[in-house]
Copies of this chain bind each other. A is one copy, B any other.
Amino acid sequence: MKATLDQIVAEARELFRERGYAGASMQDLADRVGLKKPSLYTRFPNKESLVPEVLALTLDETFADLHEESCEWTVEYEAIIRRIATTLSDRQRCIGLHLAYGVSEDTPLAATAVRGYFAALRDRIANVLARGVEANRAEDLATDALVRLEGATLWIITSGDVRPMERAVSSLIDEAKRLAH
């Protein structure tokens, strides 16, 4: 199988997304990537160290091919909101939210990574909004947009219903267009 680091991290992400931090085991991960448990520990010192890697990979993928400053800001805003919403709907649940709820003082490096993950998402959205509104307001609007999308995953999990996510996306985009006028 010859699993690469990125493949292991991607599998770890799946595992964390499905079972959460506490519910995911190194044995499960080893099985999924076709390695024995001790071989995992040659690449990662412990389970907690997987969390920053998982979130960094996810950030990279989320921002891939999203060109900044290349068009009107409302178009770019719509693109990033839809990118996040589509990813959440496809995967059913948010790895970041699951980890945010799952890590604690016992896992400080993981907790720091989660904070950084959401701050990065917010900042990226805020940067787009700042082209149309004042900076402080852009940050608040970005935060509110993000938590709305995240909240909508709750309904996907509990009932499989993606319409709250779709309504959140529509509402956010409409609000942005209203701000632009």
Residues of A bordering B, CB below 8 Å = 18-23, 93, 97-98, 100-102, 104, 114-115, 118-119, 140, 143-144, 146-152, 154-155, 157-159, 161, 163-164, 167-168
- Listed residue (A114, A140, A150, A159) with the most chain B CB atoms within 10 angstroms of its CB: A150
Question: Are B164 and A144 touching (Cβ within 8 A)?
Answer: yes
Question: Could you say which of B93, B149, B159 contacts A151, with CB atoms under 8 Å apart?
Answer: B149
User: How many identical chains are in the complex?
Assistant: 2
Given A19-B22, A101-B97, A104-B19, decide whether A147 and B158 contact each other with a Cβ distance below 8 A. Answer: no
> Whole-angstrom distance between the alpha carbons of A150 and B50 in the complex?
27
Q: Write the chain B residue with the least CB distance to A101.
A: B98
Given A23-B102, A97-B101, decide whether A154 and B164 contact each other with a Cβ distance below 8 A. Answer: no
